[in-house]
Amino acid sequence: MPGPTARVLTLLELLQSGGTRTVTELADRLGVDERTVRRYAGHLIDLDVPVESVRGRYGGYRLAPGFRMPPLMLSDDEALAVLLGLVAGRRSGLTTATGAAGETATAKIRRVLPERLRLRLDAVLGSLSFTAPPSEADPPDSSVLLPIADAVTRHRPVSIRYTAADGRRSERTLHPHGLVAHSGRWYVTAADLTVGEDRTFRLDRISGVRALPGSFEPRTGADPAERVLTALATAPYRHEVTLRVQGTAEQIHTRLPAGIAVVEEQPPPADAEPEAERWARVDLRVERLDWLPAVLASLDRPFVIERPDELRALVEALAERLTASARRNPPHA
């Protein structure tokens, strides 16, 4: 059961929602008697909160017009969780039809945040890209996300400690380009000065972020989201698959997303008819092949398997099973 202090704060929240609240209504909402409501209102007045008493049949309590609460007291993690939740909801369509509620809520929260925290969260929202609807996953550590977002915005180098997938640990110096949220994972794309190459790093494998002096010139035309999708699609896996599919990249990506497949549309042969549909080269790197035959069938487009032969055998086996099922007679009652 909440204590008196918690009920006083709840009373303040009810009054902040606007209008005049009757003593009977407040007593019912707080689970106390009317005499206690009056005592709680007195506590707020003692704290210099301008609570006004309204007399009459429909009287009660209200806040004085124009009263504003002090800055919202949220920790970095709490503010980050709220704002990212609102942004992710808008991006995934989990808000009202117009999206106005999410936008106005975001604006209200930003307006009452302390300037230091607001600027840091603005850096996150300004440097973040979404490549897929959010899914269940551990949220990023704010002690990693906030300084990296600040470095992206201000074009400042950072030093990080990184643990690779195989457990190897290293310290690296980065010029971070952008942040990307993809299928529940968080990534930063950056120039890795330690090896002299562009790399993609998972935020949950980063620790010990430290801002370094100086600044760097940001690259023009670099798309962090595209970089992450390409890195995921070309990561080393057990099988390398190459296909030729008749169709556009957009049509192929309906079944083989950009984070899985790299699609390169091919120019038509010189002697091709003007209305002839183009073919595209599709490259994948996967741990298993058993799911691909059904996906290729669902594309419902002509395709050619260039490699590996094992995939060709799996497609033939699926075709034989489907043919056998289509020819099978229903059992007698």
- pLDDT given at position 96: 43
CA 148 to CA 155: how far, in whole Å? Answer: 10
At position 244, the amino acid (one-letter code) is: R
Beta bridge partners of 313: none
Give one DSSP letter per residue of 77-103, joined into a string. HHHHHHHHHHHHHHHTT-S-SS-HHHH
Matching residue, tokens 């936008």: 103
DSSP-assigned letter for residue 213: S
Return the bridge partners of 210, or none: 159
Query: Which residue type sits at 101?
Result: A
pLDDT at 161: 93
**Contact (Cβ atoms closer than 8 angstroms) between residue 129 and residue 224:** yes
The pLDDT value given to residue 102: 61
Q: What is the pLDDT of residue 108?
A: 67
Q: Is 298 left (phi over 0), alpha (psi -120 to 50) or beta?
A: alpha
Q: How many CB atoms lie within 10 A of CB 91?
A: 18
CATH architecture of 234-326: 2-Layer Sandwich (3.30)
Residue 196 DSSP one-character state:
T
Q: How many CB atoms lie within 10 A of CB 226?
A: 14
The per-residue pLDDT for 160 is 93
What pLDDT sits at residue 98?
45
Distance CA 121, CA 81 (A): 10
Domain 4-63, CATH 1.10.1740.10 — does that match?
Answer: no
Task: Give the pLDDT score at 97.
Answer: 42
Tokens of 119: 């600027």
Both tokens assigned to 223: 């798309």
CA distance 122 to 289: 42
Domain coordinates in residue numbering, the chain:
4-63, 76-231, 234-326
Radius of gyration of the chain (CA): 29
| Residues 148 and 203 sit within 8 Å (Cβ to Cβ) | yes
In single-letter form, the type of residue at position 195 comes to: V
d(CA 248, CA 268): 12
Give buried/exposed letters for 286-325 (b at 16+ CB in 10 A, else e). Answer: beebeebbeebeebebebebeeeeebeebbeebeeeeeee
**Ordered per-residue pLDDT tens for the chain, 333 residues:** 456 777 887 888 788 777 888 988 898 888 899 999 999 999 888 888 888 988 877 678 988 877 766 655 666 677 777 777 776 666 554 444 444 566 666 766 776 677 777 787 777 777 776 655 554 455 677 788 888 888 988 899 999 999 987 788 999 999 988 888 776 678 888 889 988 888 888 888 898 899 999 999 887 766 776 776 666 655 666 788 999 999 998 899 888 887 778 899 888 766 666 666 789 999 988 888 888 999 999 999 999 999 999 999 999 999 999 999 988 888 775
Whether the Cβ atoms of residue 151 and residue 199 lie closer than 8 Å to each other: no
CB < 8 Å & 24+ apart, contacts of 119-126: 120/76, 120/146, 120/149, 120/150, 121/79, 121/80, 121/83, 121/146, 123/149, 123/150, 123/152, 123/153, 123/154, 124/80, 124/83, 124/84, 124/149, 124/179, 125/83, 125/87, 126/153
